[in-house]
């Protein structure tokens, strides 16, 4: 088993206590009411958990390992809590990796401290896995860009202060014409559309965004024109271990609940846990969770080293995708098994495993579907 540093182990214990005492008691109600948990966000910001993957000079306090273990521990009691940290990391990563010093001071620093919430606006109604098909346009007019178009399924939509928006400055060039911008939420012409009613990770808004002649200063462009696709893909590569950590945490929470249940629940005049068929399911669950956990932390280490060397190698990209792919599949299998172990009770909202199963499903989809991850992995080995 991979051993954490003493500092990271202390962080894990601190986050676990915080999750048990402050997040877990509200998790079911947040899911039921689908209301953003502002008290959680303020708590995470006070504890320095929002910018854990950001260097200290910009207000952060850790690295990818500390980021992943934080997401794992929060997700163990609430997939929504884990996604709150994950979505913020995705939004700030383009600025962290590609922003200018001035952009980092203006936008990254408040996002790393939790003073501002970010959104990553890439997906469109006709451009999901095929990011090169985006139709949102950005046309330069002097010292400004005018943005028109539509985004959908944007986490923190309607909530964020800063959106990282990907738009085409040259439609004919496909992915080579995509450019990234910071668009502030109060920009005239930025309109929040429908907020979606989701199956899982409820409490965190997912919304449409409409851009109607939004004027954005050239200073808000991240990188050069045409760099947007590289910025988006590199950012997704960096946060995928965190997505895997979210799946590991949800699976761990479901396993622990189901384990306690089968120890107490009696059928055929004996605890369920004494039945060999049940034991085999538990053995598979705990083995899959630990395998996923080790892959997630290995991927985080490899990515951390690669990014420090400014060399995002094929190996680093492969491990990032493998961690997301494997861990999210494990999360779905384990939560489904947990529901099965509880039988009819597992299907009731009285028990958290049904919420955990709903939360686990999105991890196979967002951040790049698992089918896309298989393509990335295959290309890296071919």
- pLDDT tens profile 73-90: 999 999 999 999 999 999
Band (270; pLDDT cuts 50, 70, 90): very high
Residues present in the chain in total: 382
Query: Is there a shared CATH topology between the 6-113 domain and the 118-222 domain?
Result: no
Band (1; pLDDT cuts 50, 70, 90): low
Q: What is the pLDDT of residue 2?
A: 64
- The dihedral built from the CA positions of residue 53, 120, 39 and 359, taken in this order, carries a sign that is negative
Q: pLDDT tens, 75-130? A: 999 999 999 999 999 999 999 999 999 999 999 999 999 999 999 999 999 998 99
Q: Is CATH 1.10.540.10 what the domain over 6-113 is classified as, yes or no?
A: yes
Mean pLDDT of 215-224: 98
- Could you tell me if 254 and 359 are in contact, meaning their C-beta atoms sit under 8 angstroms apart? no
Q: pLDDT tens, 168-199? A: 999 999 999 999 999 999 999 999 999 999 99
Helices (H), the chain: 6-18, 24-33, 38-46, 64-75, 79-98, 101-103, 109-113, 228-264, 276-308, 314-341, 353-363, 370-381
Q: Name the average pLDDT for the chain.
A: 95
Q: What is the pLDDT of residue 132?
A: 86
> Is a pLDDT exceeding 70 seen at residue 260?
yes
Q: CATH classification of 228-381, choosing from 3.10.310.30, 1.10.760.10, 1.20.140.10, 3.30.1330.10?
A: 1.20.140.10
Q: Burial, 360: exposed, middle or buried (Cβ in 10 Å; 0-12, 13-18, 19+)?
A: buried
Q: What is the pLDDT of residue 73?
A: 98
Q: Where are the domains of the chain?
A: 6-113, 118-222, 228-381
d(CA 353, CA 250): 9
Q: Which fold has domain 118-222?
A: Butyryl-CoA Dehydrogenase, subunit A; domain 2 (2.40.110)
Q: pLDDT tens, 17-39? A: 999 999 999 999 999 999 999 99
> Is a pLDDT exceeding 90 seen at residue 361?
yes
Q: In percent, how much of the chain has pLDDT > 70?
A: 99
């Amino acid at each position: 088993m991979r051993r954490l540093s003493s500092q990271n182990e202390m962080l894990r214990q601190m986050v676990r206590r915080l999750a048990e005492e402050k997040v877990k008691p509200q998790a079911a109600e947040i899911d039921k009411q689908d209301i953003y948990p502002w008290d959680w966000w303020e708590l995470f910001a006070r504890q320095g958990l929002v910018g854990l993957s950001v260097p200290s000079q910009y207000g952060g306090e850790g690295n990818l390992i500390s980021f992943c273990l934080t997401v794992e521990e929060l997700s163990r009691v609430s997939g929504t809590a884990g996604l709150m940290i994950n979505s913020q990391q995705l939004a700030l990563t383009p600025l962290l990796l590609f922003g200018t010093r001035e952009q980092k001071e203006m936008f990254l620093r408040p996002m790393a401290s939790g003073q501002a919430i970010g959104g990553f606006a890439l997906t469109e109604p006709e451009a999901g896995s095929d990011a090169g098909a985006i139709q949102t346009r950005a046309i330069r007019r002097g010292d400004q860009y005018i943005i028109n178009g539509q985004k959908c399924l944007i986490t923190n939509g309607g909530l964020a202060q800063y959106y990282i928006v990907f738009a085409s400055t040259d439609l004919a060039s496909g992915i080579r014409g995509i450019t990234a911008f910071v668009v502030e939420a109060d920009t005239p012409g930025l309109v929040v559309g429908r907020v979606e009613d989701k199956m899982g990770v409820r409490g965190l808004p997912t919304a449409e965004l409409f851009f109607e002649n939004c004027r954005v200063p050239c200073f808000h462009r991240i990188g050069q024109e045409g760099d947007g696709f590289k910025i988006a893909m590199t950012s997704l590569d960096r946060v995928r271990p965190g997505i895997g950590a979210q799946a590991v945490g949800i699976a761990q929470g479901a396993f622990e609940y189901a384990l306690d249940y089968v120890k107490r629940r009696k059928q055929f005049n004996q605890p369920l846990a004494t039945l060999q068929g049940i034991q085999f399911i538990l053995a598979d669950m705990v083995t899959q969770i630990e395998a996923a956990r080790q892959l997630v932390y290995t991927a985080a280490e490899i990515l951390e080293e690669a990014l420090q060397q400014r060399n995002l190698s094929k190996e680093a990209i492969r491990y990032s995708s493998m961690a997301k792919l494997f861990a999210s599949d494990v999360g779905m299998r384990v939560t489904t098994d947990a529901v099965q172990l509880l039988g009819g009770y597992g299907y009731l909202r009285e028990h958290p495993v049904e919420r955990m199963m709903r939360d686990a499903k999105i991890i196979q989809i967002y951040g790049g579907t698992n089918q896309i991850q298989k393509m990335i992995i295959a290309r890296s080995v071919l």
